[in-house]
C-alpha cells in the first residue's frame, strides 16, 4: 500500500493517541488486559521507530511499506482492540457496589 507523508504522519499519530488513551485506562484495569499490553509495548516501539525512519527518509511523494511493517501495524491495531475488549469485559463483570453498601451503624 502506498502512503503519503501526511498519511504516514496521521497513522503514527492515531496509534500514539490510541496507545496513550489505553495506557491511562490500563492503570485501573484487570491483569489480563495488562498482560496483553505488555506483549504489545515492545512491538509498538519497534513499529514507531520503523515508521519514523520511513518518514524521515521521505523526500516527497509516497512511500511503500513492506509487508512486515503493514502486518505490524495491523497487529498493533488488533492488539489495542483486544486490550479495549478485555477492559470492557472486566468492567462489566465487576459488581456495582455503590448502591449496595449498607451501614452497620443503623
- Give the tens place of pLDDT for each residue, 2-58: 888 888 889 999 999 999 999 888 877 778 888 999 999 999 999 999 998 888 887
CATH of the domain at 64: 1.20.5
- Give the tens place of pLDDT for each residue, 52-85: 888 888 766 677 888 899 999 999 999 999 999 9
Domain that holds residue 66: 2-93
Alpha helix (H) residue ranges in 1-106: 5-26, 31-57, 67-93
Domain assignment present for residue 104? The answer is no
Domain assignment present for residue 58? The answer is yes
The rounded distance, in Å, linking the Cα atoms of 56 and 61 is 13
Q: How many domains does the chain have?
A: 1
Amino acid at each position: 500500500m502506498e502512503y503519503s507523508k501526511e498519511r504516514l504522519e496521521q497513522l503514527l499519530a492515531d496509534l500514539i493517541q490510541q496507545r496513550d488513551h489505553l495506557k491511562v485506562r490500563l492503570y485501573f484495569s484487570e491483569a489480563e488486559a495488562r498482560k496483553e499490553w505488555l506483549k504489545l509495548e515492545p512491538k509498538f516501539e519497534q513499529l514507531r521507530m520503523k515508521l519514523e525512519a520511513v518518514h524521515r527518509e521521505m523526500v516527497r511523494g509516497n512511500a511503500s511499506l513492506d509487508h512486515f511493517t503493514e502486518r505490524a501495524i495491523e497487529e498493533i491495531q488488533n492488539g489495542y482492540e483486544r486490550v479495549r475488549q478485555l477492559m470492557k469485559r472486566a468492567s462489566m463483570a465487576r459488581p456495582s457496589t455503590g448502591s449496595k453498601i449498607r451501614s452497620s451503624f443503623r
